Structure 1
Amino acid sequence: VLAQRVVHSDETPVQMLAPGEKKTHRAYVWAYCTTPFSTLKAVVYDFSPSRAGEHARNFLGTWNGKLVCDDFAGYK
């Protein structure tokens, strides 16, 4: 996916049961995918315990291209 010049991304909340606790808390699954116009059809799912922008930055690393996403501040 990161070999593409354009990547679409979004995060979705999921409930996560913390080890040793009897309650859940909000975690996130981030999706990164190629565009419908790419010859490569792929999606990468990345689980994270929070919505912090550091998770997107860690996944994207030194990638350089166009990121298509909503206006969530974590992408900035």
Structure 2
Amino acid sequence: MPPARPGRWEPGCQRILLPSEVIKHGLIDEHQVVVRPVLLGGGEKLFPDAKERLDLQLIDSQTFDARTVLLRHRSASR
């Protein structure tokens, strides 16, 4: 990926590090994930500490370009 340009948000290859306890106790109202698919092989889990399944409901999606999508979810149990 080319270097970020000043004044422009550039998504990077990052994963979200949230304590699983915060998610497990339902303290998060909305999950937002920016996806820019790239095939690398192997890969890492987005939430490596997750021990339990959390069903999510898609509430919105926004496409930024031909490759980048923002996905907004909330817990399906709410």
Instruction: Give the number of the structure whose residues are more often strand, by fraction.
Output: 1
Instruction: Please say whether Structure 1 and Structure 2 have the same fold, judged by a TM-score greater than 0.5.
Output: no
Query: TM-score when scaled to structure 2?
Result: 0.27
Q: Which has the higher helix share?
A: 1
TM-score, normalising length: structure 1: 0.27
